[in-house]
Amino acid sequence: MVSTSYSRSLPRPASKVSFKDPSAFDLFYQLTYMSAVASAGISRGRIFQLAARVPRAPGEYFRRIHLLCEKLGYNYPSACNTVGQRARSEAMKTFLLRFADALSSGHPEVSFLAQEAKVQRDAYEKEYERNLASLTKWTDAYGALVVSASLIIIVNLTSSLVYDLGVGMTITLIATAVLTIAGGAWIISRAAPSEPEAVFTMEGPPLQRLVLRLVKVLPAALVACCLILGLLRVGLGWMLIVAGLLFLPLGIVAVRATREIERKDAEIGPFLRSFGVMVTSTTSTLSHALTQIDLDSFPNLQPDMRRLDWRLKASVPPSLCWRQFALETGSRLISETISIFNDAIELGGEADTVGALCSDFATTGVMLRARRKVLASTFSWLTVMMHAVVSALMLIILEVIQNFSEVIAAAAHLQEGMNLGAMQLPVMTFGSPMLGPLAVLTRGMVVVLCVINAFAIVAADGGHILKGAFYLAILLVLSGVGFLVAPPLVDAILKVG
């Protein structure tokens, strides 16, 4: 019998490589990066070494391939084939096997990677469009879920007129309604197309820095205001309005910061294409070529470009200049695009070729995001209006029940005083202890709906999560107004004479 032993330094072979499955965008970014650096004419080993450093899920596969070649003496076609055969991701498996065949046949890496980048771009666009179509269906379904869940609460309220369901059943019904709506919001977040996550940093533009400062101040201000209003025994409606007004500045600044990023993203593609052509046609340095471009054509990037120009003229290392330029724009897409551009240029790539690749990468993301905005803008305001109507309806019905409860309780008390046994009124369950918990749960349902609907809007729209503070503020204010308006409105409707 042959026994096989394994050293502690080497892992046992696995049937599958258990890396994180890359998204279509991750693979698109990886191949664009590899295509750009390969255009510099670097060696095959250097291509894989740089590919392994990319902070994306596919980079782990190339790190494994590079280690097989460097530590165990594999050649790159065999290493690609070995890792590809064991990859769990179908996209990575098919790509690595094709890459292995291309390398073993002597196909140039530059042309193969450029072709694969275009193919993956098309695949990413198709997947994005499919996800967008799915998102459209789920946003339509979300409205139906909200209405259906609200009907559960309304039926629960009206049923209390004739029968006491008990606290346990009421909590179960309301929890079912909440979980139904929350499940719909979660599905929207999963069905939404994958995009680079927006990140606000203190090195970003002033609006992003202001957002981060407001985030630090808002929780303390919110808690303090709620405590003060609670001690003053102010109604829940006013508390929600104050909370909404506190969230509103954060939301407005976050929305403005997000729009600023979107405008800069729209300009980075044309800028890099023009910049690359200018560098190649004038055969000049990056700093000199930047002065030849009319920066007025890029109004949103103009301040960042001027700072970049000053740093390049001051003989600051170009890699540091480009890195700081990307950070100061505050855009994740620009940071990734500039990373590709800078690495390829430093390796000796042709500026026009690299600029065109980077421009295609950035423009693809911008154009796809524009399609998503059309859907998200409609869904956002539809959800806001639907929340206002549904919450107002629940509060009005609750007030009607409470008013009838008070009227019948008063009638029952009068009946006892008159000692009219033969004319006893059926009190049903009005004024029962169940009415108190039911009112608390219904009001809590309205507040929870604010949070869930705000999350659903941000999930459909994309962008930074703090942008949800804007929609949360609007929903809280509308709910607060509903709490204030419902009692006098019901009193006016039920007033006799």
Angle between helices 24-38 and 44-52 (to 10 degrees): 140
Q: Residue 427: its pLDDT value, please?
A: 46
| Tens-place pLDDT, residues 236-271 | 889 999 999 999 999 999 999 999 999 999 999 999
Q: Residue 2: its pLDDT value, please?
A: 37
**Do residues 395 and 156 touch, judged by C-beta distance below 8 A?**
no
Q: Is the dihedral of CA 143, 147, 153, 157 positive or negative?
A: positive
| Tens-place pLDDT, residues 196-224 | 767 788 888 899 999 999 999 888 888 88
The letter for the amino acid at 95 is F
Q: Residue 429: its pLDDT value, please?
A: 47
What 3-state DSSP class applies to 164?
A: coil
**Do residues 213 and 253 touch, judged by C-beta distance below 8 A?**
no
> Which residues in the chain come in under a pLDDT of 70?
1-18, 161-162, 164-165, 197, 407, 409-434, 496-497
Q: How far apart are CA 360 and CA 121, in angstroms?
A: 9
Q: Residue 413: its pLDDT value, please?
A: 64
Q: Residue 415: its pLDDT value, please?
A: 61
**Do residues 200 and 211 touch, judged by C-beta distance below 8 A?**
yes
Q: Residue 341: its pLDDT value, please?
A: 92
- Each domain of the chain, given as residue ranges in start order, spans 24-107, 125-260+369-494, 263-365
Pick from 387, 395, 388: nearest CA to 488: 395
Q: Residue 296: its pLDDT value, please?
A: 83
Q: Supply the pTM of this predicted model.
A: 0.84
Q: How far apart are CA 405 and CA 493, in angstroms?
A: 16
Q: How far apart are CA 299 and CA 280, in angstroms?
A: 24
| Torsion-angle region of 388 (φ positive above 0: left; ψ -120 to 50: alpha; else: beta) | alpha
What 3-state DSSP class applies to 17?
A: strand
Q: Residue 476: its pLDDT value, please?
A: 94
